[in-house]
Amino acid sequence: LLNELISIISPLYGGTFIDCTFGSGGYTKKILQNKDNKVYAFDRDLETVNEANIVKKKFGKRFEFFNKKFSQISDLEIDNLKGVFFDLGYSLNQIKDHQKGLSFNHKGKLNMRMGLNDFSCHDLIARASIKNLNQIFKYFAEENMYRQISKKIIEHRQHNEITTEELSKIVNYVKKFKKTKINHSTKIFQGLRIFVNKEISELIYGLINSFKLLPIGGVIAVVTFHSLEDKIVKFFFRN
């Protein structure tokens, strides 16, 4: 969606932009092709620092990077701010990183921390009450069978550590008679990742602070990937 987002924020005429989800820097590098542009980029994932250093070396003072959550953009003081943008999806490199434990397709420890976290998914699954798990799976995963899945997790963790593989097996066992086009574990992993990284509150504060920073005529663009994000973004733009 690079070209679509670039067309919305219109960086052709020069100005300053905030890339709230730097990742591998695709959006930032495209914007910086115009020598009249400057980009402030944020990313909480420590793995993005190396790529940011490469971009900094190439574009110098026109690029500034912060290894922080994008809710912290309010710390900036910017002149000529033209646009703020978010791409809320996870990169293929992040999903493939076994240490992050984001995917049910890989064996390993449940982590899901994207940086600057208070706890990991492993901590959550090992300690959370059945009430807390029910709430996470009901509201963040939007999972109908949340009670059955929470109960199986509580039963299983009494005897074994729950890894990405084990969690996926638990969910697929509970939902074995349910027909779906996607893996049964998809929504559960999504809900846990959202909770561990406080993605909903981060998005809300990120949007609030973006509106505070932007002058009249500035643009906010957001790429969303699931219904919770989509509802929040639409609420802000409608109001």
Write phi, then psi, for 37 (nearest 5 degrees). -105, 150
Write down the pTM of the prediction.
Answer: 0.89
pLDDT tens sequence across 55-76: 999 999 999 999 999 999 988 9
Which pLDDT does position 203 carry in this prediction? 95
Which pLDDT does position 147 carry in this prediction? 97
Average the pLDDT over 114-142 and give the result.
94
pLDDT tens sequence across 92-108: 677 777 677 677 777 88
Which pLDDT does position 239 carry in this prediction? 67
Q: Work out the mean pLDDT of the chain and round it to a whole number.
A: 90
Average the pLDDT over 76-94 and give the result.
85
- Is the pLDDT at 148 greater than 90? The verdict is yes
> What is the share, in percent, of the chain residues with pLDDT greater than 90?
69
Q: Which tops the pLDDT comparison, 118 or 147?
A: 147
Query: What is the three-class DSSP state of 124?
Result: helix
Average the pLDDT over 221-225 and give the result.
90
pLDDT tens sequence across 13-65: 889 999 999 999 999 999 999 999 999 999 999 889 999 999 999 999 999 99
Q: Which residues pair with 18 in a beta bridge?
A: 40, 84
| HSE-up (13 A, CA, CB side) for residue 233 | 16
Average the pLDDT over 158-162 and give the result.
93
Residues 6+ apart with CB under 8 A from 48: 22, 23, 24, 25, 67
Which pLDDT does position 94 carry in this prediction? 72
Residues 6+ apart with CB under 8 A from 23: 43, 45, 48, 51, 87, 91
Instruction: Judge whether 9 and 82 are in contact, CB under 8 Å.
Output: yes
Which pLDDT does position 90 carry in this prediction? 74
Which pLDDT does position 227 carry in this prediction? 87
44: tokens are 């909480």
- Number of neighbours of residue 175 by Cβ within 10 angstroms: 20
